[in-house]
Structure 1
Amino acid sequence: MMEHRSYYAIIPADIRYDQRLKPNTKLLYGEITALCNERGFCWASNDYFAELYGVNKETISRWISDLIKFGYLTREIIYKEGTNQIINRYLRINQHPIDEKRNTPIDEKIKDNNTSINNTVNNTKEYRKELSPPKKSKAKPARHKYGEYKNVLLSDDEMEKLKTEFPDDYQERIDRLSEYCASTGKSYKNYLATIRNWAKKEFKQQAPQNGYRRNVRREKLPEWVKGSEVVKKPKNDSHEEIDVPF
């Protein structure tokens, strides 16, 4: 039965999130770090890893070649003197993998969890420092219910603005909007803006026409009201618009 090492295997963030590496290649890297913890380098052969992971030697060779290609490992081969016969092969962990596009070490700031191979516990505090603090959502001011039907929502600040802009009839405007919302079932995202919008429309309707100011408003009256005489209401309840003085 094969002996399993009890040392910690370390797979830093650079390896975990490198999409160029296959999952088993990343796992092999972790196994190599465990062996490096014992002597500072990995001396195990491809036969050892092949038996450990249940694959052939060629597959192990490809995994190791990828780790070397992308700068995560360094390989040292010892030949028998005067021959091409390999006596030993040593694999060592690169603390700062090489970015093949720039051919320079990857910035340490990017390496949010590049733990030393001698560490056996993740440095949680350091990892948290790399995380940007969550954005604090600005608390919305509390809104209170106003109007006859208690359905007009205004914050204290909005209420003060309403009193300042409409000092004589702010309560009447609130009640009018409250009644409208209750009868139609409508609600508004901003009730102060709605009251202001209604006031602008009223102002436009009361604007001077033909050199004088007409204090009139548009209202709808049933057809069955004609002058001062009231007749029977027909089935067709159509309406016409007339100008009625305030």
Structure 2
Amino acid sequence: MTDQPSYYSIITANVRYDNRLTDSEKLLFAEITSLSNKYGYCTARNGYFAKLYDVVKETISRRISKLAKLGYLHIEIIREGNEIKQRKMYPLTQSSVPIDAKINTPIDNSVNTPIDANVKENNTRFNNTSINRDRDETSELFQLISKELEMIQSPLKVQQLEQCIESFKTNRSEVVEVAVDYCKQNKKGINYLIKVLENWSKENISSKEEAEKKVKTKRQSSRSALDEIAEELGVGF
């Protein structure tokens, strides 16, 4: 297990006050967010969590399955042939954008003791066809931001980003992707991205072309390129 826990964990309000979850399940969710790397996912195995919380692997498997079923985890299985190489768990920390999902968790027939279908290493994948379109789009953008810029750990930033993203009524993904790419190229983080999106929303930017025009640098002899970009975006460095 190569993941290293962060200094702090996250339990967002929707997880914290969900009475369908036990305290142990909420704590596991927090641990997964703590272990999520810069790409926004955790690869820790059930054995790691079982040892950490002094329970059996099947207990951890049930807890992870429940978190996924309720929309708090997106689980991706990496296979090589019939062999599972890695499991990626993406904690979905959006405060009001839970994802509904159908899960498919087959049982390993080589196990001698029969257990329910939610147990084992959770060969789970989302069936995105049943997910609400807008929620899915916002969730994918959160994953893009976590991958390209930094892991979204602050609940306040989650809320701010969610509001910024949903303020774009048309071509939402295209506009946000341009902003994320710009921030990545200029080594800017989430705080700067929020400023960019807030200003673009106020200026009614509604297409990829309009967004790209905003980040295009125009040379001026009396000002640096960075100063000009800041002016174009409507934010300061």
Structure 2 length-normalised TM: 0.41
Q: Which has the higher contact order (CA 8 A, sep 6+)?
A: 2
Which structure shows the bigger proportion of residues in strand conformation? 1
- Mark the structure with the bigger radius of gyration: 1
Which structure shows the bigger proportion of residues in helix conformation? 2
Structure 1 length-normalised TM: 0.40
